[in-house]
Amino acid sequence: MRIWEAARGGAVLLFGAPINQRGQQPDIQLTGFSSGCFTGDQREYLSITSIFEDTYGLGRLHVGAPHMIAPVRVLNAQHAETGSLVSIERLQDDRYLVGYNIDGIFLALRGPFRPDRADIDAHATDLRRRHFAEWGAGVGFL
């Protein structure tokens, strides 16, 4: 995974090893990265990934340490059905919106990212539960 840095005039490695630098490595970790966003200080990137959970969860990447990723827990994301994390968006300051697809229903939670605890203390939003079909094409981008 790479990010574009205008100051450097090009892409900078954020995670993994480029194909042309892998050689004969047989044990390449499957990452399943999806969307993500930077933290307020721009030094960390929160990304949806399947590294820690098959149903996707959050990974915390440190800019400048391309081989390090740590899990980020989303607290209070309790539901009886099977679901997967599908979106994350930084709202303002340390607050984030995370979205889950739970059996075709979109559940949005928001809360602060607490770097010292590696979690987002999430709570239900006023978006409540809505069927995916109600969101149309922009379901992953609230």
What is the tens place of the pLDDT at every residue in 23-79? 776 677 778 888 899 998 888 999 999 999 888 999 999 887 867 899 999 988 766
**pLDDT digits 0-9 by tens, 115-135:** 999 999 988 765 555 555 554
How many structural domains does the chain have?
1
Contact between residue 74 and residue 122 where contact means Cβ atoms under 8 Å apart: yes
Q: Where are the beta strands (DSSP E) in the chain?
A: 2-5, 10-13, 36-38, 44-49, 57-62, 69-75, 83-92, 95-102, 105-114, 119-121, 123-131
Instruction: List the domain range (segments joined by +) for residue 122.
Output: 2-138
- pTM exceeds cut of 0.85: no
